[in-house]
Structure 1
Amino acid sequence: MEIDYNKIGLKVGLEIHQQLNTKRKLFCHCPTVIRDDEPDGEIVRVLRPSQSEMGEVDRAALLEAKKGKKFIYQYYKDTTCLVELDEEPPHLPSEEAIEVALEVALMMNMKVVDEVHTMRKIVIDGSNTSGFQRTMFIAKDGYIDTEFGKVRITSLCLEEDAARKIEDRGDCVVYNLDRLGIPLVEISTEPDITSPKMGREAAKRIGEILRATGKVKRGLGTIRQDINISIKDGARIEVKGVQNLDLIEKVIENEVIRQINLLKIRDELKERNAEVVDEVFDVTEIFKDTKSKVIRNALKKKNGKVKAVLLKGFAGLVGREIQPGRRLGTEFSDRAKVIAGVGGIFHTDELPKYGISEEEVKKLREFVNAGENDAVIIVADEEEKVDKALEAVKERAREALIGVPEETRKALEDGNTSYLRPLPGAARMYPETDIPPIKISKELIEKIKNNLPEMPEEKAERFMKEYGLNEELAKQMVLSYYVDLFEKLCEEFKSIKPTLIATTLEGTLKEIRREGYDISKITEEHLRETFKALSEGKMSKEAIIEVLKGFCEFPDKNIDEILEMKGLKSLSKEEVEEIIENIIKENIEVVKSKGMGAVGMLMGRCMAVLRGKADGKLVNTILREKLSEYL
């Protein structure tokens, strides 16, 4: 679908959430480490919404409470404490985290507040033991420049990250508290973004500024992008949890397509004078002998029922595609799943199917008095769940008559989205009473201003001049997780070309990861050992790949042990000469007939024996010298 984004009035705003790599958590002195070992214990909690100071209850919090879930929190005795368990008041915020937040704000031309106040934001999906997230407003009114134009930065907040979800068991959710409290900056933009490409570019630019500080965490889950998207006559949709930068364009494109198609469906429904019939029909008797496994299994449950609702004028539209691979019926199903916990819905646009016969569909339509233009939705499960699910379907169907409902949606891996919850209201924020205001002095601001890090484009330029990297490699290195290590290694091992160090960090590691090796096991010390061995002549540069694979397999071994195990210890010049001499003798007939033209073939055979044990240039030099002796 060719879309004119200006014509449809596309507006996009970003919320970037980035973990900071500080020594301690935001409101306690626990380290900011993620654990993969067994926790020391767990506690169980139930969370309920409370009224704001104005007597209002946030609608998103109310929806979560209606699910009636319990929450299990796993903890560790040495890296989590009573603050995370909500058994002790928060400590004073991390000064280091505040200074990093101020640094980021100044790099985005923002106005810093002179006094920081901590607020509580209601969050009762279980991701915080207290039922709220603490957040601090740090700065406002900034901007970044992109190739598509300026994007204004609305605000920068410093907040605590949520607990890490381990498992959703339906009636309860298991969280680990290791992530709870890690400092997080939240950067919000104005809706100045007018195309998917501009959205990706703005997020990339903000990410570059964050990484330029050298004080942010890297890796999957450490940065998350939320996207607010709207079009003319549509609605503001908040898409949560876009972790991949390359997915931003696709999410925006697909959300625009969804809203355009929902508006078309709305117009057709109006033409048909469509309506949602309020009555819920018990159609269990119709399906008592069904061959549908889903319905049979549902009827075996305690109080298992099949019920239906009638949507007048919806025929053919429930099954219409609104996003690649997703239909209006998928939206109905999402609501039923989220709100009632059922497995899904059936609708007459897709029946007979799934073991439901044509005769059963005919009886169903007759029972609810459905006309040719009408659609019927059915749900099979425990009666209480069925009733909840069909109420959710009716609500979503009524919203289809209006157009695009405002809501929060979850980003999916294919660039589509699914329903998560209603958009939160303003009643979710209130002051934190356990933390006093923090004054931001002019002296502190001046100190940070005078020590701001290089901007990414400045660093890339320096890498080209100082280290001789080409433009593409310099840009890659600037954004690399290993950018600081790169400079340290270049300083320590001056005999090694910086280009080799950069390509190892940015190319070789990715290459062996694609082969299935777990490169997270390779530490900075492993990389330092590798280049130290190379600089001391213990190994050749051709051995780097195998050495790094060795560290993935045996992270507890040292470089000498890896070289020994892999048979990669460098040979002496004399040993190399002897091997090359023997290879020439084995191929003497080719040498006599081709002369120096045999170099290519002989080089291949030499490297098959010497790769990783001798430098390629040295092998080539010796080969040519030895070959000339035979000619």
Structure 2
Amino acid sequence: MTDYDYEELGLVAGLEIHQQLDTEAKLFCGCPTELREPEEAERRFTRYLHPTKSELGEIDDAALEESQVDREFEYLAYDTTCLVEEDDEPPHRLDEEALEVSLEIAQLLDMTPIDQAHVMRKIVVDGSNTSGFQRTTKLAADGEISTEEGPVGIEDLMLEEESAQRVEETDDGVRFSLDRLGIPLVEIGTKPDIRTPQQARDAAERIGMLLRSTGQVKRGLGTIRQDVNISIAEGARVELKGVQSLDDIDDIVRNEAQRQVELLEIKDELEARDASVGDVQDVTDVFADTDSGVIRGALDSGGKVTAVPLYGFDGLVGTEIQPDRRLGTEFSDHAKRHGAGGIFHTDELPAYGVTEEEVAALRDAVGAGDEDAVAIVAADAEVAENAIEAAAERAETALEGVPEETRGANEDGTSEYLRPLPGAARMYPETDVPPVDPDIEAVEEPELLTEKVERYQEEYDLGAGLAEQVAYGRRMVLFEDLVGQGIDATLAAQTLESTLTALRRDDVPVENLTDAHLRGAIVLVDDGEVPNEGMEDLLTALAETPDLTAEEAVEAEDLGGVDESEVREAVVEVVERNDDQVAEEGMGAFSGLMGECMGALRGKADGDLVSELLREEIQKRA
């Protein structure tokens, strides 16, 4: 991967962190915030969405482009889905719990709440919201966090509703699930103070730690997303959406910086060649007898082949601008937005069944010479026309350098075109929800996770590693509840971290364990109803049969403790069975016999008691 002197490059970046809150209810209705399986859906309905004008009579460019793709949106509804989620009833008041958690986050970011918060509508017509817009409200501004490379300002904190979950593409459009729609979400936007890829990662990690310090944010894949705004000198602002992992942020920034550098170099070369983009043409006749599977399939189904000559582009369409992505890939991204599978271009042909003779005929048909390139699309007639026009428009912007746009982050650290950058025309007031007066003074500032680690060591005598695992772990709130009710801290911490980790490695489905399961199991062990050695068996039983309570699992698996007389009886039986070994080795036989005793008792006895009684019996016979 190419690395640069980012100061010399003029890198400027900012983050937008989107974090789901772990509240009881959704932001504008009382429905639960738990995710469901699509198979649980009880009904479904469809919508077609169209952009609306702002208060000034303008239509947002991003919404307009999205609406040009004719798609049906299907929604999966559940037994918990309400009329607000379906957009058949006005939204309720802003959820108080979500507001309180958001103000806690504002405190941790050293932000100033605004005097009065008004809910706004943000136009979104990609199907991710049944209403065609997302509700959002600005709560605080002007904060700051620290990183090793200097402070990063926090521009604003927004409280908004999460979008519907995309389930799959359908023949007619996209299917969404309504279980996620409306979950409270905070959006934290930094100022453009970030100057290196590492600082972007450090800032995201710092904000993530502050968010988790509240104990009221959801955890797991998809619950936090990072968007990154990036530009370099002479480049353009590009918004990269949907970075799922902190580990990807620095790679995303590096790759986008590389993309912009490469695009600027291509622009300079195109200028030197006096390059231009020609008119779109129908070249179906060139491929009338083609053996190319893609083109043949399009023609046999009544489609056609369209082309655009790219004068002076020869060798540049195939130039790599990101790992495994080329300028031609950028053209293809735009074509795909209109339903095409992609484009072919002469920098990669002959290939894909297209012959050298067909390439020559194609060049002749559009008037392209040796220094020129040609891009083609084979698809349904309307799709082919719209897709090649989109590719041609992207080729035009290559002459200008780096286009401002919104891109989607890929898992490999690269990105692909999504839509134009949104503008102010996408926002207008939400008249169905009254404004709120944020009162940050009424909210107690949460303890930082770094502070929790120190406190757990001092107050509960946990080791540094275990204290950090618990504080940063997904069960931190449960741990604090347990120790708050007098449960042994070491027992709670080791169960929630070490024991669950060991069971996960043994392929026990620990994801089925709820807080109620864990609380019940830990309380039973702490009370002496189940020995420490029975914890793994108990949690395994609960994970494999999650409809049981801890008490029911103890009874079903016969995991209850045994009294001392039963333990002694089992120990004596093991020792007598191995009498010759005991006579010969004495206490040297202890280790092997201890394992045999614990196996005979099936984890129903405390290990310290078994050890004590076994030593007694061996000493009697030694």
Q: TM-score, normalised by structure 2?
A: 0.91
Within 2, Cα distance between the matches of 1:94 and 1:569? Answer: 44
- Residues 1:559 and 2:557 are matched in the alignment: no
Within 2, Cα distance between the matches of 1:585 and 1:352? Answer: 83
Determine which of 325, 334, 345 is the counterpart of 1:347. Answer: 345
Instruction: Note if contact 1:8-1:232 (Cα within 8 Å) is conserved in structure 2.
Output: yes
Going from structure 1 to structure 2, the CA distance change for 1:24 and 1:563 (only over 3 Å counts) comes to closer
Within 2, Cα distance between the matches of 1:589 and 1:288? Answer: 92
Instruction: Give the structure 1 partner of residue 304 of structure 2.
Output: 305
Within 1, Cα distance between the matches of 2:560 and 2:572? Answer: 20
Structure 1 residue runs without a partner (length 5+): none
Residue 392 of structure 1: CA displacement? 1.3
Within 1, Cα distance between the matches of 2:7 and 2:585? Answer: 67
Going from structure 1 to structure 2, the CA distance change for 1:628 and 1:138 (only over 3 Å counts) comes to same
Moved more, 187-196 or 166-175: 166-175
List per-residue Cα deviations over 1:479-521 (Å, max 9, x = no partner): 2221121022224454x4x234223223433444455444332
Residue 13 of structure 1: CA displacement? 0.9
Within 2, Cα distance between the matches of 1:129 and 1:172? Answer: 14
Determine which of 441, 450, 455 is the counterpart of 1:446. Answer: 441
Residue 135 of structure 1: CA displacement? 1.4
What amino acid does structure 2 have at the position aligned with 1:361? V
Instruction: Note if contact 2:26-2:33 (Cα within 8 Å) is conserved in structure 1.
Output: yes
Instruction: Give the structure 2 partner of residue 404 of structure 1.
Output: 402
Instruction: Give the structure 1 partner of residue 108 of structure 2.
Output: 107
List per-residue Cα deviations over 1:324-367 (Å, max 9, x = no partner): 222222222111112x1111222222233323333433433343
Instruction: Give the structure 2 partner of residue 239 of structure 1.
Output: 240
Instruction: Give the structure 2 partner of residue 266 of structure 1.
Output: 267
1:13 match: secondary structure: strand
Instruction: Give the structure 2 partner of residue 367 of structure 1.
Output: 365
Residue 622 of structure 1: CA displacement? 4.3
Q: How does 1:33-52 map to 2 (within 5 A)?
A: 33-36=34-37, 38-52=40-54
Instruction: Note if contact 1:170-1:341 (Cα within 8 Å) is conserved in structure 2.
Output: no
What amino acid does structure 1 have at the position aligned with 2:292? S
Going from structure 1 to structure 2, the CA distance change for 1:357 and 1:549 (only over 3 Å counts) comes to farther
- Residues 1:474 and 2:464 are matched in the alignment: no
Instruction: Give the structure 2 partner of residue 184 of structure 1.
Output: 185
List per-residue Cα deviations over 1:229-250 (Å, max 9, x = no partner): 2222222111112222222222
What amino acid does structure 1 have at the position aligned with 2:343? I
Moved more, 463-472 or 430-439: 430-439
Instruction: Note if contact 2:305-2:384 (Cα within 8 Å) is conserved in structure 1.
Output: yes
Instruction: Note if contact 1:111-1:142 (Cα within 8 Å) is conserved in structure 2.
Output: yes
- Residues 1:523 and 2:514 are matched in the alignment: yes
Going from structure 1 to structure 2, the CA distance change for 1:470 and 1:232 (only over 3 Å counts) comes to farther
Instruction: Give the structure 1 partner of residue 30 of structure 2.
Output: 29
Within 2, Cα distance between the matches of 1:610 and 1:291? Answer: 73
Determine which of 416, 427, 448 is the counterpart of 2:414. Answer: 416
Within 1, Cα distance between the matches of 2:426 and 2:499? Answer: 48
Residue 67 of structure 1: CA displacement? 0.6
Within 1, Cα distance between the matches of 2:248 and 2:602? Answer: 40
Within 1, Cα distance between the matches of 2:114 and 2:611? Answer: 64
Instruction: Give the structure 2 partner of residue 547 of structure 1.
Output: 538
Going from structure 1 to structure 2, the CA distance change for 1:28 and 1:566 (only over 3 Å counts) comes to closer
Instruction: Note if contact 1:331-1:418 (Cα within 8 Å) is conserved in structure 2.
Output: yes
Instruction: Note if contact 2:311-2:373 (Cα within 8 Å) is conserved in structure 1.
Output: yes
What amino acid does structure 2 have at the position aligned with 1:101? S
Within 2, Cα distance between the matches of 1:178 and 1:503? Answer: 33
Within 1, Cα distance between the matches of 2:567 and 2:359? Answer: 81
What amino acid does structure 1 have at the position aligned with 2:316? L
Within 2, Cα distance between the matches of 1:479 and 1:629? Answer: 50
Within 1, Cα distance between the matches of 2:592 and 2:8? Answer: 63
Instruction: Note if contact 1:281-1:368 (Cα within 8 Å) is conserved in structure 2.
Output: no
List per-residue Cα deviations over 1:31-59 (Å, max 9, x = no partner): 33333353343333222222222232110
Instruction: Note if contact 2:470-2:493 (Cα within 8 Å) is conserved in structure 1.
Output: yes
Residue 61 of structure 1: CA displacement? 0.5
Instruction: Give the structure 1 partner of residue 434 of structure 2.
Output: 436
- Residues 1:318 and 2:320 are matched in the alignment: no
List per-residue Cα deviations over 1:226-277 (Å, max 9, x = no partner): 1112222222111112222222222222222222222233333333333222
List per-residue Cα deviations over 1:90-109 (Å, max 9, x = no partner): 22222332222222212211
What amino acid does structure 2 have at the position aligned with 1:291? D
1:420 match: secondary structure: strand
Q: CA RMSD in A?
A: 2.7
Instruction: Note if contact 2:3-2:254 (Cα within 8 Å) is conserved in structure 1.
Output: no
Residue 140 of structure 1: CA displacement? 0.8
What amino acid does structure 2 have at the position aligned with 1:558? T
Residue 575 of structure 1: CA displacement? 4.7
Q: How does 1:9-158 map to 2 (within 5 A)?
A: 9-36=10-37, 38-76=40-78, 79-158=80-159
List per-residue Cα deviations over 1:121-141 (Å, max 9, x = no partner): 111112222222221111111
Determine which of 371, 381, 385 is the counterpart of 2:383. Answer: 385
What amino acid does structure 1 have at the position aligned with 2:378? A
Q: How does 1:281-300 map to 2 (within 5 A)?
A: 281-282=282-283, 284-300=284-300
2:120 match: secondary structure: strand
2:97 match: secondary structure: helix
Within 2, Cα distance between the matches of 1:359 and 1:602? Answer: 83
Moved more, 47-56 or 521-530: 47-56
What amino acid does structure 2 have at the position aligned with 1:52? S
Residue 629 of structure 1: CA displacement? 4.2
Instruction: Note if contact 2:102-2:186 (Cα within 8 Å) is conserved in structure 1.
Output: yes
Within 2, Cα distance between the matches of 1:315 and 1:616? Answer: 76
Within 2, Cα distance between the matches of 1:298 and 1:528? Answer: 60
Q: How many equivalent pairs are there?
A: 620
Instruction: Note if contact 2:513-2:543 (Cα within 8 Å) is conserved in structure 1.
Output: yes
2:399 match: secondary structure: helix
Instruction: Note if contact 1:493-1:531 (Cα within 8 Å) is conserved in structure 2.
Output: no
Instruction: Note if contact 2:147-2:203 (Cα within 8 Å) is conserved in structure 1.
Output: yes
What amino acid does structure 1 have at the position aligned with 2:68? K
Moved more, 257-266 or 391-400: 257-266
Within 1, Cα distance between the matches of 2:212 and 2:618? Answer: 52
2:93 match: secondary structure: coil
Within 1, Cα distance between the matches of 2:7 and 2:601? Answer: 61
Q: TM-score, normalised by structure 1?
A: 0.90
